[in-house]
Amino acid sequence: MSDLARVEGEQQGTICLVRVHGEIDLSNAHEVSSEIGFAMGQEARRLVVDLSDITYLDSAGVALLLRLAERLRSRRRELQLVVPRGSPVRRVLDFTGLPRVIPLESRLEDALALGDHALPDDFS
């Protein structure tokens, strides 16, 4: 893929951790979305997307995250975002009210520590 954004996926039990580096805009939102999809294994119940290394994200990126959350939800998977305080991305997400829809942590450890109980297997 191009060097505008880079996606690295990592499986930690039922948690899939995806780190996205670089910038997300209209030109690569779809691509980043697909990459994240590829990175996530079948057995993963929860997807943690770490946006700490994102330097630019606009409403195209917000839309990407919302679509991603919706898709996961339809497959009964959970999406959790990691965005540090003070990150330029945080302001966009806060303004669009995204944290009300997608759980958002400031620190990766907190997100991972939540475990995968939020959506039990038998929950339907």
Listed residue (23, 93, 90) closest to 7, CA to CA: 23
Q: Which two tokens stand for residue 50?
A: 């770490």
| Residue with Cβ nearer another protein (14 or 59) | 59
Q: Which of 14, 37, 53, 59 binds another protein (CB under 8 A)?
A: 59
* 8 near another protein, judged by CB under 8 A: no
Does the protein bind another protein through residue 71 (CB under 8 A)? no
Q: Which two tokens stand for residue 58?
A: 């606009």
Written as six digits, the tokens of 98 are 């995204």
- Residue 21 CA to residue 19 CA, distance in Å, equals 7
Q: How many CB atoms lie within 10 A of CB 59?
A: 14
Of residues 76 through 105, those in contact with another protein by CB under 8 A are 88, 91-92, 95-96
Report the residue number, 60 or 114, with the smaller CB distance to another protein.
Answer: 60
Cα 81 to Cα 114: distance, rounded to the nearest angstrom: 12
Q: Which is nearer to another protein, 35 or 45 (CB)?
A: 35
Please report how close the Cβ of residue 26 comes to another protein at its closest, in angstroms. 4
Residues 17-36 that bind another protein (CB under 8 A): 23, 25-28
3-class DSSP state for residue 66? helix
Question: Which residues here bind another protein, judged by CB under 8 A?
Answer: 2-4, 23, 25-28, 56, 58-60, 62-63, 66-67, 88, 91-92, 95-96
